[in-house]
Structure 1
Amino acid sequence: MKQVHLRMEEQLYAQFSEYANETNQSLQNCFRDAIAIYMTEIHKRNDLKKNEYTFIDLFAGIGGMRLAFQNVGAKCVYSNEWNKYSQQTYFANFGEQPDGDITKVNENTIPDHDILVAGFPCQPFSIAGVSKKKSLGKETGFKDKTQGTLFFDVCRIVNAKRPKAFLLENVKNLCSHDKGNTFKIIKESLEGLHYKIFYQVIDGQSYVPQHRERIIIVGFDTLRFGNNIDFSFDLTPKERKPKVKDILESTVDDKYTLSDKLWNYLQNYALKHKAAGNGFGYGIADINGVSRTLSARYYKDGSEILIAQEGKNPRRLTPRECARLQGFPDSFKIPVSDTQAYKQFGNSVVVPLMEDVASLIVNKLNGFNALEEDKYV
């Protein structure tokens, strides 16, 4: 982090001070946010290229979806992410400060766009999230009054802005949650907005060396394109299946090696659950194969993906290795602590997989445009 000293008029300083007190923030954070928002507006003034598709990035995290769509030539015109650390990473890489709490955003103020992209929060539907909430006596799915209902914020924005298409991403368990009722509500809600939807559970391991199953939902506006819409997930993954060793750094700091205390704990924990007939425990990754799913809890102990070391305790992945495991380029900046980085990459998407889906959506829209042009030839 760099430091700068600012001079400003007393009236402007007083306004910042008042805002800082109202929002319970430090003056430093207020100044940073103001500059970030200003830079975002400058960035948005760039003219769109001819025939360039626009998209908005909701529940943007650190921008995995944005990378995917930018890589196929689309332009982001609005982003939204509430987590301040994710906002920092997003700004460091895209020069834009995402908007905040989506529940407080007036959908009519969001710029018009061709494609809505949203990886709406998965914790209310994930296997781990449901188990944790139940153990705490909390509601899950749509009964979760905080994260679970954020899907309906997607719906109100779709309804107001009528994008040509959308792409939604969530955990595989979304399909089976609450005996299928949750996904039934999602499907009926989207179809009720006059979109034809297509969905499929896809494992990212053909793109990165990680077993990561996610449901991908794609929709197209039937009011614009009619009901006779065909779409299939004809993906084109790499010919050579990636391996864990492909993402490992050549030199790794000793701080990523597990301490004797933590390593002994993980071994005893695994033995206890094995004796009880459970499958819980640490996972030593096969460097010539694929890893388990990287999760947001990786920062705690790294137990789901450990790398064996000769003559030493195993180690956890570095943040850069986690980035590679999700398909982020090495040019992607990581400006936050290791703890925050682990959370961010664990919550993100497999970028090359999403890029492949984004390409299919863009190609489909190009096909619709060609049909429109033929009408007037």
Structure 2
Amino acid sequence: MEKQICELFAGVGGFRLGLNRLQSGWKTVWFSQWEPGARTQWAFDCYVQHFGDSVDINGEYHTCEDISNVDKHSIPDHTLLVGGFPCQDYSVAHSLATAEGIKGKKGVLWWDIRDTIIAKQPPFCLLENVDRLLKSPSKQRGRDFGVMLASFAEQGYSVEWRVVNAAQYGAAQKRRRTFIFAYKDNTAYHQKMANFNSEEIITEHGFMAHAFPINGYEKFRSTVMPKDIVEVSDTFKFDFEKSGFMRNGEITTVKITEAEEPPILLGQVVQKFVDEKYYIPSDKMAKWVYLKGAKKIPRTSATGHEYVFSEGPIAFPDPWDRPGRTMLTSESTLNRSSHVICDAGTGRLRLLTPTEAERLQGFDDDWTNTGMPDRMRYFCMGNALVVPMITRMGKVLDEVFADEP
């Protein structure tokens, strides 16, 4: 099977970079990256500077357009669909005769993935989302992920998922993300997995078990999902654990203990004697100390209820002997979540540089140094995935594709 990738919600190219690093023949045939409301498409420009643009099957360029307006049938054929898409409300409207059964909530990007799957029927899919996807929404836990699984089942796919903390598998950042691996029931890989039950796939023989070995697991739980996606949206609730498998609408999930590989420590990625603009000025230090410290603040809710808002302290500065904390799109701004470190040369407190942010995500140095301002470099890294996790999964994909006719 040819290794042809379609990359949706491509950002600055983390999926593509992670697979390209294997040098095992992966080829991206088309991608899409568009930031709604942005006057300048910084991420798209960065992606194109590294990889070039892609035409559709009509020889036209539609890679920097709203994906909901793109004709999915015009996307080139591919064998692996990848993408890191936003966590949104995946509820669906009731059946409409003119909408092929369901009508997804407008603006929810999952339906563009589903439409691409329906139009192109890729044998394999590898998607990324935040860890809270499995628990949303709070009033009907598990519904959103259930809608996704039902969409895959409807199209003849089996699905594995795993919440991965990148620092547990050798990366420089404590970043938990849900990875979803789906494969068509007519693939050789599906026939191979048919020899194992769900528990064996999750713990030993499946895709995720090979990419991210585990140290142990607790009691398995199972359920059968309604076949109708609207019914799933209306009634389905399930407490998904961070590892699981779905085949023929039958779901098995289990709480696992991740294996521990030595992470890259924050001290291993820091630079020395950086530009003065990254250092914390003395007149801002008191604010930083307050934001990072423990708090107990009396508050009154909109209904008049009085309560105490409290939060614990965050290490200040961030220690060198641990991996970095989860990086957000607000990195480097004056807020509680931004990293503050001791400069390796001067010993003064400062923010991360854009290059250090790239290192936390496993990108090459200066990957986003393509003309975009620093604030957008941080934003793009806060939105990105940890590239070495893609390379790990790519090694398993190489084995999977080698067995496909």
| Alpha-carbon contact 1:92-1:333 (below 8 Å) kept | no
| Of 310, 320, 325, the match for 1:277 | 310
Instruction: Write the mapping of 1:337-348 to structure 2, written as runs, cut at 5 A.
Output: 337-348=373-384
Distance (whole Å) between structure 2 residues aligned to residue 69 and residue 309 of structure 1: 33
| Alpha-carbon contact 2:355-2:366 (below 8 Å) kept | no
| Alpha-carbon contact 1:170-1:216 (below 8 Å) kept | yes
Instruction: State the shift of 1:228 in Å.
Output: 3.7
SS of 1:207's partner is coil
| Alpha-carbon contact 1:266-1:281 (below 8 Å) kept | no
Partner of residue 329, structure 1: 364
Q: How has the CA–CA distance of structure 1 residues 239 and 282 changed in structure 2, closer, same or farther, with 3 Å as cutoff?
A: closer
Partner of residue 43, structure 1: none
Distance (whole Å) between structure 2 residues aligned to residue 201 and residue 59 of structure 1: 20
Structure 1 stretch displaced more, 308-317 or 205-214: 308-317
Partner of residue 239, structure 2: none
Residue 207 of structure 2 corresponds to residue 232 of structure 1: yes
Q: Return the letter of the residue paired with 1:220.
A: Y
Instruction: State the shift of 1:184 in Å.
Output: 1.1
| Of 323, 343, 353, the match for 1:318 | 353
Distance (whole Å) between structure 1 residues aligned to residue 352 and residue 91 of structure 2: 34
Instruction: Write the mapping of 1:166-177 to structure 2, written as runs, cut at 5 A.
Output: 166-177=125-136
Instruction: Write the mapping of 1:153-164 to structure 2, written as runs, cut at 5 A.
Output: 153-164=112-123
Instruction: State the shift of 1:359 in Å.
Output: 2.0
Runs of 5+ consecutive residues of structure 2 not aligned to the other structure:
36-40, 55-62, 93-103, 194-205, 214-259, 298-308
Distance (whole Å) between structure 2 residues aligned to residue 340 and residue 294 of structure 1: 14
| Alpha-carbon contact 1:115-1:166 (below 8 Å) kept | yes
Q: TM-score, normalised by structure 1?
A: 0.73
Q: Which structure shows the bigger proportion of residues in strand conformation?
A: 2
Instruction: State the shift of 1:208 in Å.
Output: 1.9
Residue 146 of structure 2 corresponds to residue 184 of structure 1: yes
Q: Return the letter of the residue paired with 1:120.
A: F
Distance (whole Å) between structure 2 residues aligned to residue 155 and residue 257 of structure 1: 46
Q: How has the CA–CA distance of structure 1 residues 82 and 282 changed in structure 2, closer, same or farther, with 3 Å as cutoff?
A: farther
| Alpha-carbon contact 1:283-1:292 (below 8 Å) kept | no
| Alpha-carbon contact 2:278-2:352 (below 8 Å) kept | yes
Distance (whole Å) between structure 2 residues aligned to residue 209 and residue 216 of structure 1: 18
Instruction: State the shift of 1:94 in Å.
Output: 1.3
Distance (whole Å) between structure 1 residues aligned to residue 106 and residue 292 of structure 2: 33
| Alpha-carbon contact 2:90-2:110 (below 8 Å) kept | no
Q: Return the letter of the residue paired with 1:232.
A: F
Distance (whole Å) between structure 1 residues aligned to residue 164 and residue 72 of structure 2: 30
Instruction: Write the mapping of 1:1-377 to structure 2, written as runs, cut at 5 A.
Output: 52-72=2-22, 73-83=25-35, 84-96=41-53, 98-122=63-87, 124=88, 140=89, 142=91, 149-178=108-137, 179-205=141-167, 206-225=169-188, 227-230=190-193, 231-233=206-208, 234-235=210-211, 240-271=262-293, 273-274=295-296, 276-279=309-312, 284-301=317-334, 303-304=336-337, 305-309=339-343, 314-330=349-365, 332-335=367-370, 336-369=372-405
Q: How many positions carry a matched residue from both structures?
A: 302
Partner of residue 225, structure 2: none
| Alpha-carbon contact 2:316-2:340 (below 8 Å) kept | yes
Q: Return the letter of the residue paired with 1:251.
A: F
Partner of residue 131, structure 1: none
Structure 1 stretch displaced more, 226-235 or 183-192: 226-235
SS of 1:356's partner is helix
RMSD: 2.6
Distance (whole Å) between structure 2 residues aligned to residue 74 and residue 331 of structure 1: 23
Instruction: State the shift of 1:185 in Å.
Output: 1.0
Structure 1 stretch displaced more, 329-338 or 66-75: 329-338
Distance (whole Å) between structure 2 residues aligned to residue 155 and residue 175 of structure 1: 18
Structure 1 stretch displaced more, 156-165 or 295-304: 295-304
Distance (whole Å) between structure 1 residues aligned to residue 383 and residue 267 of structure 2: 22
- Residue deviations 1:311-339 (CA, integer Å, cap 9, x gap): 87621110011101100122635211100
Q: How has the CA–CA distance of structure 1 residues 260 and 218 changed in structure 2, closer, same or farther, with 3 Å as cutoff?
A: same
- Residue deviations 1:92-126 (CA, integer Å, cap 9, x gap): 2112274321000000000000100010123x3xx
- Residue deviations 1:270-299 (CA, integer Å, cap 9, x gap): 446356432375753211111110111114
Q: Return the letter of the residue paired with 1:217.
A: I
Distance (whole Å) between structure 2 residues aligned to residue 356 and residue 77 of structure 1: 21
Q: Return the letter of the residue paired with 1:213.
A: R
SS of 1:301's partner is coil
Structure 1 stretch displaced more, 295-304 or 74-83: 295-304
Distance (whole Å) between structure 1 residues aligned to residue 106 and residue 381 of structure 2: 22
Distance (whole Å) between structure 2 residues aligned to residue 362 and residue 330 of structure 1: 26
Distance (whole Å) between structure 2 residues aligned to residue 229 and residue 293 of structure 1: 37
SS of 1:200's partner is strand
Identity %, equivalent residues: 26
- Residue deviations 1:174-214 (CA, integer Å, cap 9, x gap): 01111111111111111211111110011111232210010
Partner of residue 134, structure 1: none
Distance (whole Å) between structure 2 residues aligned to residue 236 and residue 216 of structure 1: 11
Distance (whole Å) between structure 2 residues aligned to residue 74 and residue 257 of structure 1: 41
Q: How has the CA–CA distance of structure 1 residues 313 and 245 changed in structure 2, closer, same or farther, with 3 Å as cutoff?
A: closer
